[in-house]
Amino acid sequence: MNHTTMELHIKKAISTLVPDLSKQIWNTPVEKATGTEWYLDGLPKARNKTKTTLRIFSSLAACLALCLVSFLWVDM
Amino acid sequence: MAYDEPPQTEPVEIDETLFARIGNGEPDAFCELYYQTQNIIYSYTLSLLRNQCDAEDTLQETYLKIRSAAHLYRPFGKPMAWIFTIARNVCLMKFRQQKHLSAMNIENVPEPLDFSQIEDREDRVVLETAFTVLTEEEVRIIVLHAVSGLKHREISSLLELPLSTVLSKYNRGIKKLRKQLEGEFS
């Protein structure tokens, strides 16, 4: 028996064991996750768009202020 | 060591928009994802827990968690990795619960694996032999490779193992399985 045949037997065997729970699972009420649940450990966290935008704008504003101060300093 | 790549099983390609649709409450999207991935997730949980009842419970729990968190999914090109992380976390929680029960001296004897419901004799013998003679990691790698059609590189990434380890364990496991089955079917 070669490895391809063995893998085919394993695949067929597993498919006969798996129960069809799709309807049962769909009919079970679930709460929407907030993103901090234990089962989401290790997953990339979704970034908060508002926070990211605010951070970018505040960095830009700081840069602009620094440039202005430098310009005025040289000019004086 | 020889590197064999059986081309039998087509790898699963999951449409990443399914998660948003599941999050919006579309049962068709959930069924599509479930039927595409159920065998892979079941084989993974069975190889980790080595108990059919626990594997079924964990399968159900994993998909309930997927439903809960589907709206948080952001397409990043690796939907299987996202599902596997949830399945692994659910399995780890199951392990913790079992450990807690045994620490409290509550009898929690795992039932032995019973594959009698597999009608085809050859299918049954091959799976039984795999779970009997192979180590946990060898079973996990071989069963995942057989069921999912994922490449060894993808399996190494999902199981967080070096590719060289996956390849050596796969080849060693296949040799052991072949040797054992030669006796069974001769």
Q: What is the pLDDT of residues A12-44, one digit of tens each?
A: 999 999 999 999 999 999 999 998 899 998 887
Q: What is the 8-class DSSP label of residue B162?
A: -
Helical pair B136-148 and B152-159, crossing angle rounded to 10 deg: 130
Residue B11 pLDDT: 65
pTM: 0.81
**Cβ neighbours around A37 below 10 Å, total:** 16
> Is the torsion defined by CA of A12, A16, A17, A20 positive or negative?
positive
Domain B115-186, classified CATH 1.10.10.10, yes or no: yes
Residue B129 has pLDDT above 50, yes or no: yes
Task: Please report which helix (H) or strand (E) contains residue B132, including its range.
Answer: helix B121-133
Confirm if B66 and B21 have CB atoms less than 8 A apart: no
> Residue A19's closest chain B neighbor by CA?
B56
Query: What is the rounded CA–CA span in Å between residue B78 and residue B67?
Result: 17
Contact (CB<8Å) B35/A22: yes
The fold for domain B12-111 equals: Rna Polymerase Sigma Factor; Chain: A (1.10.1740)
Residue B36 has pLDDT above 80, yes or no: yes
Give the confidence band of B77 by pLDDT, cuts at 50, 70, 90: confident
Instruction: Provide the residue ranges of all domains of chain B, joining segments of one domain with +.
Output: 12-111, 115-186
Terminal C-alpha separation, chain B:
26
Q: Is A44 helix (H, G, I), strand (E, B) or coil?
A: coil
- The arithmetic mean of pLDDT across residues B38-45, rounded, is 94
Contact (CB<8Å) A11/B185: no
Confirm if B52 and B114 have CB atoms less than 8 A apart: yes
Higher pLDDT, A72 or A21: A21
